[in-house]
Structure 1
Amino acid sequence: MSPNTLSSFVKKCSDIESGMSLTYGEISPSFIFSNTGKGGNPKYFSISLIQLIDVLTDIKQNLPVFLKHINYIEKDWRDLFSTYIKDPVVNALSTVQTLPLFALINKIIYQLNNLSNYKEKEIQLSDEYLAIAIDYLSSQKCNITEIRELKNSSGNNFHSTNIIYYGAPGTGKSYSISQGKDENYFTRTVFHPDTQYSDFIGCLKPIMNNNSVGYQFRPGPFTIAIIKAISDPSSEYFLVIEEINRAAAAAVFGEIFQLLDRDENGESSYPIDVSDPDLLAYLNEKTLNKFSTGKLKIPSNLSLLATMNSSDQAVMPMDTAFKRRWQFKYLQIDYSKASKGTLNIPIESAGNITIQPIEWSILAMVINKHLATERIPEDRLLGHRFISETELQKDPDNTLKGKLLMYLWDDVLRHSQKTIIFKDEVIIHGQSVELINFSQLINAFEQGSTVFNNAIEESLLSKMAESVDTKTYLEYE
C-alpha cells in the first residue's frame, strides 16, 4: 500500500539502511540525496519530482538495455545515464554522481513495490515496477499547490510547545511523552551533571582522515532535531530531554534559551543570530541553505518535551526565567495503573511471622499514606510504576531489597526518622538489635524477620482484606 503523501513516502525511503541519505524538499517537490561522504563530508544533490518521473520514464522506454546491468558497475551505469537520460541537468549530474542517483532510483522502486532484500548496488527492474513508481510519483504532482500553501501559512495544527513532565518516581513521565507518537519522529537525550552546551548543540571534533587528523562539526541532539523538523515541515517532531534538571539547564541551552519563547503558531518569537560559523555551515549544508540569513529559530513543528525528578539528590535548581518558558505537567500517582504483581513481605500477626504476598499497589498505597502523614513531600513518594511488572515477575525479592528498601532508607528517609516506615529494632540471628544501618535492615529481611513497623503491618493486613482502592493517594483515607 503506497503512502498517502510524498513526504511520508520519502521518509520511508530514508529509513532504508544505506550509506547515503535521502530527505524531502518542500515547496517544489524534490528529492535531496547524498553521496557516501568517503574522504570527507557527504555532498548533497537535488532533483525535482518532474525530473525523477522523466528519468524513470527514460529507463522504462529503454528497459531491455538497462536489464542487462542490474548490478552496479560505475562505468556501465555512467554510460547508460549519459546515453538515455534526456533531462540535461540530471544527465550532467549522473556523470559525476552516478552511484547516488542509482541508489535514489533503487530505493524508490524498492519501496513502492514492497520488494525485499534491498541491496545498495543491485537494482530490481521490470516494466511493472517502473510503471507503479511512475504512476505514484505522477499522482503527487497535484500536491505542489498544497505544499506551497503549507509553507506560506502562518500556522499549522501541531501546536508545538515546551513541556516539562514531573512527579514522583515511577509515575510514567517518559511513558506519557512517548504514548501515541511515532518513535521515528523523536530525538532523545539525557542530561547529567557534566552535560555542556557543546554536547547539546554540537561542536568541532577531531576525526581521522587518511592517517591525518582533521576536524568536523558533530551535531548535538538539539541541532539534529532542528534539521529534521526544518527538512520535513509537514510532520511533527519531538526533542525529548530526560532528567533536564540533572544539568545546569540554562547554561546547557546558552543563547538557545531565547528561542524557547514561542508565538501563537509555535515558532520561536525571537530568532537569534547563529554566532558559531561551524554550526551555521552545518545547518545550511543539511537543509539546502534554509539558514542562509544566519538566523535560527525553533520551527512550529518541533516540540521540546522534558522530564524532571525534583526529589533526586543530584538535581540542580532552575532559575525563574528559564522555568517560565516551559509548561509544567504534574503526573499524579494512580494506583489503577500500578504494575501487576506481588512482593513477599514478612508480617507478624498474633505473635507469628509469616511471609505474605502483598500486591505492589497495596504496598505502595500503604507506604505513601504513612509518608504523607509525616509530611514527606509528594515528589518523594512511590509512583505506581516505581517497580515494573518485569521486576515483579522475574526477581521480586532482589527488587524489594535493592530498589524499594534502598530508596526508602537512603533517599526518602535520609534526613527523617527511619521509624516512620521501619521498626526501631529487628531480629538478626535470633537477637533483637537496634536498627541503625541499611545492612542490618537487609540481614533482617533475608532471615525472614519483620522490618516494617507495626502501623505499616496493620495497614497491610487491613488492605489485604479489601479490594484495591484505585484512587490516588491523596484520596485514600
Structure 2
Amino acid sequence: MLADTQQQPLIDRIRDIDHPEAVRRFFGLLKELIDMVNLPNGDARLAFTVRQEKAAITAHINFFQALRIQRQRRSEVEYHLTIKKSCQDRLKTIEELVFEPLTEKSDYLAVIIGQSNVHLLYMPVLRTCWEDCLLELVETSKRGPHSARHNADVYRAAEDEAFLSEVIRLADDPTLADRVSNGNAVEEPEAGYELEPALPNQPHNLILFGPPGTGKTFALQPYLRENNSFITFHPSYSYEEFIEGIRPEVLNGQISYKIRKGIFYKACMSAIQQAGYGTLADCLNDSVENRTRKLKKAPAYYLLIDEVNRANVASVFGDLITLLETDKRLGAANELWLTLPYSQERFGVPLNLFVVATMNTTDRSIALLDIALRRRFSFREMLPDPTILGVIDGIDLAQLLRTINERIEYLLDRDHQIGHAYFTTVETHAELCAVFRDRIIPLLQEYFFNDWAKIQLVLGDNPAWGKDPDLRLIRIKKKYTSVAASKLFGEMPDSVDEIVTYEINPSLKDDNCEQIPADAFVRIYQKQ
C-alpha cells in the first residue's frame, strides 16, 4: 500500500505519538464516539484532524474538541476527553485527573489522562460525563463546516481494524510502503510467541460463597488494586444495566432515547483492548488464528460482582448465559457470538475476561440459583476460620467462635454460621462487648426469628449450661404463670401455656462494659 496524501499525515502523527497500544485505545474511543453521534464520514458537523505542531489526533464536533490523543516533546501520551463544566464536581475526588478549559469562556473542559493512569478512561462516572457531552455537542447551534480540514482516513481507521493495523505498521517501518510499491514481497518476521497461554490458572467464572463475615468481599481486594471493574448486584438490577439498554435523555427540553452500554459490555471492551483491539468489531473481524493467539496471550481482565445472588441472575445475564462458557468465548475452540437486541451489534465474551462473584449463603440458598447458571460457574466455599483469632482478656476468641458456630449448625445449618471477620478487629474487652451488642445478637435474632430460647442455647445462657444469671447476655425477664397472667389481664387469656419473656443484659445494652466480666464470654464455650 502506498500512503496517499491523507494517510501520510496520519501515519506521521502515529509515528510521533510512538505508542501503538495507546493509538489503538484512542481509535477504540473514537469508534465509540462515532457510534454515539451517529454521523457519517464527511458530515459537516464532524472533523477528525491531525496536527503536526502538537503531535496530536483530534476529533471535533461542531467546532468543539471532543476527543484527542497527543504527545509533546517525548512526554507521556495524553488522552483528552471533553466534558461539561457542570460535571467537574463529580470528578474532583479523582486526584490523577487534570482539567483544562477548551477556551477562556467555554462551557466545556478537557479531562486529561496520562498513559500511566489509562485505567481511568473506563471509570463509569467519567464515561457518563463524556458521553453526555458528546450528545450535547451534536445538538449545539454552533455548526461546522469542517470539510476543508477533515481527514477521512482517521474516520476509516476507527471503523476498519485492518486499515488501522496497516497504518500503524507503516508508522513503525517507514520503508515498508516503498518496498511494497516496488513490488518486493514483505516477509513478516516469525513472532516468538510462547506456547503456553498467559491467562491465570483459575476458572473463568467463579463464585465465592459462604456465611457472612468469611472474607468473600475481602478476597476481591487484590483484583480491585489492578483497576478492574466492580459492581454490587441488587434486586432491581437488570439486563439493560448490565449489558445494554435504551434510556431516556432530556436535551434542550426534548426527550430522546439512546442505547447505553452496561458494565459487562464495557468489561468485555476493556478485556479485548488488553489484546490490542480497539473495539469488539475489530476483534470479530480479525482472523480466527490471530484472535485466538492475541486473546490467549493478553493480560487478564476481571469483572467483580459482589452479592451476585441478590439480583435475578438469569434475567440479568439473559442471552449471554451460553457465551460465558469457557469453550464458547472468543479465542476458544468453539467460540460463539450473538447479535445484541438493542444495538444489533455482534457481541462475544473474550477469553481473557474473568468473572469473580461473591454470594452470601444466608441471603439465598445456592439451590435457588438458576441451574443453567450454576453449571457455568465454579463454586468455592469460604467458611469461618477461627485459627486466625487470638485471645483477649483471657477470652479464647477462636474457641468462642467454634462453639457458637457448632450450635448454629446444629440448630439451623452450616450456611448460617458467623464468620471470623466479626472478630478480627476486636482488640479490647469493650470492643468485644460492642460486637456482641451491635452485630452478633441482632444477627442471631434474624437467624432465629426472635426465638430467644434458641439464642440462649447458642450463647450458653440457657439454665442447664450452668452460667450464673449475672453472666448471661440474654436473660429471662419474667415467667408468666396462670396466676401472674390473671393478675396482668384481670382474667385468664385464651392461651394457658406458660409465657416467658427475655431481655438483653442491661449492662451490655447500656454499654456499661465494665459491668460485663470476661467470664460472661468465657462461659459461652466453657461449662462450669
1:63-142, aligned counterparts within 5 Å? 99=65, 103-105=68-70, 110-111=75-76, 118-120=98-100, 141=172
> What TM-score does the superposition give when structure 1 sets the normalisation length?
0.57
* 1:386 maps to 2:418: no
Q: Which runs of 5+ in 1 are unaligned?
A: 11-22, 46-54, 60-65, 67-80, 123-136, 281-290, 343-355, 463-477
Q: 1:319-375: per-residue Cα shift (whole Å, max 9, x none)? A: 32221111111123223434x785xxxxxxxxxxxxx67464443233224434x35
Q: 1:259·1:271 contact (CA, 8 Å) conserved in 2?
A: yes
Selected match of 2:214 from 171, 176, 198: 171
Report percent identity of matched pairs.
19
- Determine if contact 1:187/1:221 at 8 Å carries over to the other structure: yes
Q: Which one-letter code corresponds to 1:271 in the other structure?
A: L
What are the residue-to-residue correspondences of 1:369-384 with 2, within 5 Å?
369-372=406-409, 374=410, 376-384=412-420
Indicate conservation of the 8 Å contact 2:328/2:335, yes or no.
no
Q: Deviations over 1:62-103 (max 9, x none)?
A: xxxx8xxxxxxxxxxxxxx9xxx9xxxx79x789888457x4
Please give the residue correspondences for 1:210-359 in structure 2 after superposition, counting only pairs within 5 Å. Answer: 210-233=252-275, 234-263=298-327, 269=334, 271-278=336-343, 280=344, 294=346, 296-312=347-363, 317-338=368-389, 342=392, 358=395
Question: Aligned residue for 2:233?
Answer: 191
Q: CA–CA distance in 1 between the matches of 2:219 and 2:342?
A: 37
Equivalent residue number for residue 128 of structure 1: none
Q: Which residue identity is paired with 1:105?
A: Q
The answer for unaligned runs of 5 or more in structure 2 is: 1-17, 42-49, 79-95, 103-167, 177-186, 276-297, 464-468, 480-498
Distance 1:341 1:112 in 2: 54
* Contact kept? 2:395, 2:521, Cα under 8 Å: no
**Could you tell me which residue of structure 2 aligns to residue 78 of structure 1?**
none
In the alignment, structure 1 residue 433 sits paired with structure 2 residue 484? no
SS in structure 1 at match of 2:213: coil
Cα RMSD between the aligned structures?
5.2
Indicate the SS of the match to 1:332.
coil
**SS of equivalent residue, structure 1 residue 311:** coil
Structure 1 counterpart of 2:494: none
User: Given that residues 429 and 518 in structure 2 are in contact (C-alpha distance below 8 angstroms), is that contact kept between their aligned partners in structure 1?
Assistant: no
C-alpha separation in 1, matches of 2:476 and 2:448: 25
**Structure of higher CA gyration radius:** 2
Is 1:446 aligned to 2:446, yes or no? Answer: no
Contact 1:245 1:316 in 2 (8 A): no
Matched residues in 2 for 1:108 and 1:439: separation? 76
Change (3 A) 1:432 1:204: closer
Is the 2:70–2:77 Cα contact (8 Å) retained in structure 1? Answer: no
CA–CA distance in 2 between the matches of 1:223 and 1:245?
A: 20
Q: Deviations over 1:204-235 (max 9, x none)?
A: 11112122111122222211211211222233
Deviation at 1:148, TM superposition (A): 10
Q: 1:446, 1:43 → 2: CA distance?
A: 66
Which residue of the partner structure matches residue 491 of structure 2? none
Closer, same or farther: CA 98–202 of 1 in aligned 2, 3 Å: closer
Q: Within 2, Cα distance between the matches of 1:323 and 1:44?
A: 44
Question: How far apart, in 2, do the equivalents of 1:215 and 1:153 lie?
Answer: 47
Distance 1:311 1:322 in 2: 19
2:295 maps to none
TM-score, L = length of structure 2: 0.53
CA distance in 2, matches of 1:258, 1:150: 34
Kindly state the Cα deviation for residue 398 of structure 1 after the two structures are TM-superposed.
3.6
Tell me the SS of whatever aligns to 2:302: strand
Aligned partner of 1:459: which letter?
Y
Distance 1:148 1:31 in 2: 27
Whether the 8 Å contact between 1:34 and 1:100 is mirrored in structure 2 is: no
Q: Helix, strand or coil: the match of 1:213?
A: strand
C-alpha deviation, 1:153, in angstroms:
9.5
The 3-state SS of whatever aligns with 1:226 is: helix
Seen in structure 2, the aligned counterparts of structure 1 residues 392 and 229 have a Cα distance that, compared at 3 Å, is farther
- Number of aligned positions between the proteins: 353
Does the CA contact (< 8 Å) of 1:35 and 1:42 recur in 2? no
Aligned-pair CA distance for 1:410: 1.8
SS in 2 for 1:217: strand
